[in-house]
């Protein structure tokens, strides 16, 4: 579900998040592996204050492996604990407990001094829309399917999900607003589907995606649609060729640009164009 973010919505999201933050030991911040910069909420560090957190790159099956490795190295170099995950296929979660424990080593030391033996970790997911929070919660809950029930003393209907490794997971994720810093970030968010297509011009978006993909590697589109073009070929002409190949043609032989545009976006989002990272570490950090 996507949301149109207005200052009022941001405040509500922020307030809810703050309340839930008090109930947990650690935050798992989800980002989209294809856009590790743009899919990070701009205020996350402020929002977290000093709450421990780990960074989870989701949808790694859709991103370029080498680029993801470089991003992981970058975030680790600035002190983040990073997990690479494919929530759909339950991959990359085996050392979740270990990573959380590493990040929480101070807490466990304090607990030990206080002779607290319970090693349960309470956590919540947070991230901008569409990064896979619900999918991941489902994936983790399927591992046991057990609900812990309401917390005593909490009037709202907060449910905890028991997952293996003594992790209790808040069943509602924190939904945070995306960055609105510039056009390029906005486009990247739209390409991966974190901003609703209904509020965007699909043809324009697809036009921009073609431009972007050709910058990354012109063979992506050439191979997928079996077409030929040069660096200076008009994008509209490339859309024409794709439309012809796929039979997206209206009466009188006119290309159905709406259909072509939606198809390109859908195929990109589903990974049919290959594993593509839209952002590299070097685009943002030295
Ligand atoms: P949320 O808005 O953050 O809760 O995101 P959802 O859990 O609703 O996921 C958004 C879309 O991403 C859904 O279509 C999921 O099936 C898809 N998705 C989630 N995780 C993955 C993943 O690891 N790989 C792929 N390819 N798709 C995923």
pLDDT in tens, 246-259: 999 998 889 999 99
User: Tokens 């003594």 belong to which residue?
Assistant: 166
- The contacts of residue 122 (CB under 8 Å, 6+ apart) are 23, 24, 25, 26, 160, 167, 168, 169, 170
Helix (H) or strand (E) holding 10: helix 7-21
| Residue 16 is assigned to a structural domain of this protein | yes
| Residue 22 is assigned to a structural domain of this protein | yes
Q: How far is CA 282 from CA 65, 70, 259, 279, in A?
A: 16, 9, 35, 8
Q: Residue 154: what pLDDT?
A: 45
Length of the chain: 286
Quick check: CB of 276 below 6 Å from ligand 1? no
Give yes or no: residues 111 and 246 share one domain. Answer: no
DSSP state of 158: -
**Residue located nearest, by CA, to atom 2 of ligand 1:** 130
Give yes or no: residues 224 and 156 share one domain. Answer: no
Give yes or no: residues 206 and 168 share one domain. Answer: no
Q: What's the rounded Cα separation, in Å, for the pair 191 and 199?
A: 13
pLDDT at 145 over 90: no
* CATH of residue 213: 1.10.1580.10
Q: What's the rounded Cα separation, in Å, for the pair 59 and 85?
A: 6
pLDDT at 158 over 90: no
Give yes or no: residues 219 and 105 share one domain. Answer: no
Give which of 31, 245, 19, 270 is closest to 127, Cα–Cα: 31
Q: What's the rounded Cα separation, in Å, for the pair 213 and 232?
A: 14
How many domains does the chain divide into?
2
Q: What's the rounded Cα separation, in Å, for the pair 74 and 56?
A: 14
| Residue 165 is assigned to a structural domain of this protein | yes
pLDDT at 210 over 70: yes
**Residue located nearest, by CA, to atom 17 of ligand 1:** 132
Quick check: CB of 172 below 6 Å from ligand 1? no
Q: How far is CA 275 from CA 88, 206, 223, in A?
A: 15, 18, 13
User: Tokens 């896979």 belong to which residue?
Assistant: 132
Supply the range of the domain harboring residue 218.
Answer: 201-284
Atom of ligand 1 nearest to the CA of 271: 26
Contact assessment for residue 82 and residue 75, using Cβ atoms and an 8 Å cutoff: yes
Beta bridge partners of 83: 56
Quick check: CB of 129 below 6 Å from ligand 1? yes
Report the phi/psi class of residue 252: left, alpha or beta, with left for phi > 0 and alpha for psi in -120 to 50.
left
Residues 184-199 pLDDT 10s: 999 999 999 998 766 6
Q: What's the rounded Cα separation, in Å, for the pair 87 and 279?
A: 21
Quick check: CB of 179 below 6 Å from ligand 1? no
Q: Residue 253: what pLDDT?
A: 86
Would the pTM of this model clear 0.80, i.e. be above it?
yes
């Amino acid at each position: 579900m996507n949301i149109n973010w207005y200052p009022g919505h941001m405040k509500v999201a922020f307030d809810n998040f703050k309340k839930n933050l008090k109930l947990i030991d650690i935050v798992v911040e989800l980002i989209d592996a294809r856009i590790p910069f743009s899919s990070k909420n701009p205020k996350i560090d402020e929002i977290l204050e000093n709450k421990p957190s780990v960074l989870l790159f989701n949808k790694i099956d859709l991103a370029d492996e080498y680029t993801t490795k470089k991003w992981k190295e970058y975030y680790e170099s600035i002190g983040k604990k990073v997990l690479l995950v494919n929530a759909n296929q339950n991959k990359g979660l085996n050392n979740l407990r270990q990573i959380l424990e590493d990040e929480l080593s101070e807490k466990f030391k304090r607990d030990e001094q206080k002779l607290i033996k319970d090693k349960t970790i309470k956590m919540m997911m947070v991230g901008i829309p569409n990064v896979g929070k619900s999918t991941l919660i489902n994936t983790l809950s399927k591992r046991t399917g057990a609900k812990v029930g309401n917390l005593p003393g909490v009037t709202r209907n907060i449910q905890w999900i028991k997952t293996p490794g003594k992790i209790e997971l808040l069943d509602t994720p924190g939904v945070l607003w995306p960055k609105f810093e510039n056009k390029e970030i906005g486009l990247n968010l739209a390409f991966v589907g974190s901003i609703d297509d209904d509020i965007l011009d699909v043809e324009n978006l697809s036009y921009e995606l073609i431009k972007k993909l050709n910058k990354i590697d012109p063979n992506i589109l050439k191979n997928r649609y079996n077409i030929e073009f040069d660096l200076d070929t008009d994008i509209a002409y490339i859309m024409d060729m794709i439309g012809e190949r796929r039979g997206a043609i209206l009466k009188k032989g006119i290309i159905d640009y709406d259909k072509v545009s939606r198809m390109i976006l859908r195929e990109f989002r589903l990974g049919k164009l290959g594993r593509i990272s839209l952002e590299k570490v070097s685009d943002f950090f030295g």
